[in-house]
Amino acid sequence: MSLRTPLSKVIGRGSAGEGVGHWWVQRVTAVALLPLTAWFVISLLGQSLQSYDAMRGWLGQPWVAVPTILLVFTLAWHSKLGVQVVIEDYVHAKGAKTTLLLLSTFVHIGAAVAGIFAILALALS
């Protein structure tokens, strides 16, 4: 016997009232990050990190800049969702929880914008 109402089954949002959106996007971004991070780390480790000109020239290329923008965007999103779960699980005081969640959201969006801006500035100048 199910205690769920027909309406709750149709809406499909479960007991937390939020559905599976968070869980699913965490997986979608995880799958996207597998090739993006693997490509970036392998490519980066082949560069001369100490040379400003070499790094600038490498990151400014269209076929490097675009996947790196995708990487920054997807990393920020995945990280935001993950940090959110950690805060929700371990911080129970309502004020502290809300403050930390807001702070995490702002830091992640700020970092994403800064990272993407930096890559565009290198690629388009």
Partner 1 sequence: MNQRPLSPHLGVYKFMYTMSLSILHRITGCAAAVGFLLFVWWLMALASGPAAYASAMGALGSPLAKLLLVGFTFSFVYHFCNGIRHLVWDTGRGLERAQARRSGTVVVVAALLLTAVAVWFGCRAFGISP
Nearer to partner 1, 1 or 45 (CB): 45
Rounded CA separation 105/96 (Å): 14
Tokens of 23: 């869980």
Alpha helices of 60-93 — where are they, by DSSP H? 62-90
CB of residue 6 to partner 1, shortest distance in Å: 27
Nearer to partner 1, 52 or 63 (CB): 52
Rounded CA separation 97/81 (Å): 15
Binding site residues, partner 1, CB under 8 A: 27, 30-31, 33-34, 37-38, 41, 44-50, 52, 55-56, 59, 72, 75-76, 79, 82-83, 86, 89, 92, 107, 111, 114-115, 117-119, 121-122
Nearer to partner 1, 7 or 45 (CB): 45
Angle at which helix 94-124 crosses helix 52-59, to 10 degrees, equals 100
Geometric angle at alpha carbon 71, from 48 and 108, rounded to 5° = 110
Nearer to partner 1, 6 or 22 (CB): 22
Tokens of 12: 């499909």
Tokens of 99: 């403050």
